[in-house]
């Protein structure tokens, strides 16, 4: 990869992350924040949430997008 291609890739990744951040409140309403397989532990004074399934789905979607853009 040349320097220009790396910069372009980082810009695209940044735009995608900003878009996801802005859309996050609406994505949560669709139920994408608490999928089966996501780990959530809530106790008194303590809350832990690890979106395992959500992370896998986002990873697969991004992989598909990058694969499509490469062709």
Sequential pLDDT tens for the chain (71 residues): 677 778 888 888 888 888 878 887 776 777 666 778 888 899 999 989 888 888 888 889 888 988 887 76
Whether 36 and 53 have beta carbons less than 8 Å apart is answered as: yes
**Are 22 and 45 found together in one domain?**
no
Structural domain that includes position 70:
34-71
3-state secondary structure 7-55: HHHHHHHHHHHHHHHHHHHHHHHCCCCCCCCCEEEEECCEEEEECHHHH
- How many domains would you assign to the chain? 2
**Are 44 and 71 found together in one domain?**
yes
**Are 48 and 67 found together in one domain?**
yes
**Are 28 and 39 found together in one domain?**
no
**Are 3 and 14 found together in one domain?**
yes
pTM recorded for the entire structure:
0.53
**Are 25 and 51 found together in one domain?**
no
**Are 52 and 65 found together in one domain?**
yes
């Amino acid at each position: 990869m040349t320097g220009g291609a790396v910069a372009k890739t980082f810009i695209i990744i940044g735009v995608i992350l900003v878009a996801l951040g802005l859309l996050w409140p609406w994505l949560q309403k669709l139920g994408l924040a608490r999928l089966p397989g996501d780990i959530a532990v809530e106790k008194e004074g303590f809350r832990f949430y690890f979106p395992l399934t959500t992370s896998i789905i986002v990873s697969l979607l991004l992989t598909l997008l990058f694969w499509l853009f490469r062709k």
